[in-house]
Amino acid sequence: MNSTEINYLFYSYIPSRYAASIFAAILYLSSIAWFIQTLYSKCRPHLLGIFIFLSHLTTFIELVLRATLTIDILNTQILYRITAALASSSPRLLLLANYRCLVDLRGKRPHQKLDRVYDIIIPLSVLIMDSLLCIADELLFDRNYEKLSIHFRQVSNGFSFSLALFFYLLWYLTVSPVRRLYMLPLITISSVCVLIEISYTFFISIPVIFRTLTKNNEFFYYICHVIPLFLALISWTIFHPSRLLPPSEASVPRDASGNELLPLPPSD
């Protein structure tokens, strides 16, 4: 790979300011609605509230930069590093929110071993993935380490893809069918949207696919990145977990067989 090949990372087209502005404005309103609902309800899963708000924020900033900066500024190394960090942060924050939701949805008492996996192992894994991406971004513009940078990015994105798939296994194995019903629409939309975005990010970490999907327009950027994040974040605001999470195990009566006698899930 010669040093001129890294030019494929820069825009070969002028991004639409109107599209970015529209999505940014709606996400701004969604973030305010999320924040107000979280404060008003004193949302029980505090980490969940933080993850979703930060995901709103990073996506909003990414779109604002795209809508306001000229192509000459966007096509610089420093802006590439900033926008790349923002683009990768939002789906991973949503992934953390999905995993965190499993803890609160299960309603287990504190300090369960599996909950420690959710609270420590998964966030630590995401932190390692982000560290690899930071290293990749630092090495990318050094012609001696371009290939190593691409490999770091592919490993990081591949691991994110694995975690997005692993979520469904834990969702099935650790949450009872009755409890799944409480947040089934929200978790389904959020997890599918995250999987679509992370799959897209994984595939475009391969240079030849990146060139193919981003050569002359931003169609795939919106279809596979912005719109999945947009739908996921709007869904979190509409189906706020403070209204949907089931009561904890300790407060739920049981029948003679030990099964939980949960009330019917909320209809809205």
pLDDT at 111 over 60: no
Which of the four pLDDT bands, split at 50, 70 and 90, describes residue 3?
very low
pLDDT at 122 over 90: no
- From CA 5, how far away is CA 252, in angstroms rounded? 60
Q: What are phi and psi of 260, to 5 degrees?
A: -70, 140
Per-residue buried b or exposed e for 189-215, using 16+ beta carbons within 10 Å of the residue's own CB:
bbbebbbbbbbbbbbbbebeebeebbe
Which of the four pLDDT bands, split at 50, 70 and 90, describes residue 4?
very low
pLDDT, position 41: 75
**pLDDT tens, 91-105?**
999 999 998 888 777
Cβ-contact 83, 65 below 8 angstroms: yes
Find the helix packing angle between 227-238 and 46-68, rounded to 10°: 140
Classify 93 in phi/psi space as left (phi over 0), alpha (psi -120 to 50) or beta: alpha
**pLDDT tens, 154-197?**
898 999 999 999 999 988 888 878 788 888 899 999 999 999 99
Which of the four pLDDT bands, split at 50, 70 and 90, describes residue 136?
confident
**pLDDT tens, 205-248?**
888 888 788 777 889 999 999 999 999 999 999 998 888 777 66
**pLDDT tens, 24-83?**
999 999 999 999 998 887 665 578 889 999 999 999 999 999 999 998 888 888 888 888
Helix, coil or strand: residue 175: coil
pLDDT at 110 over 60: no
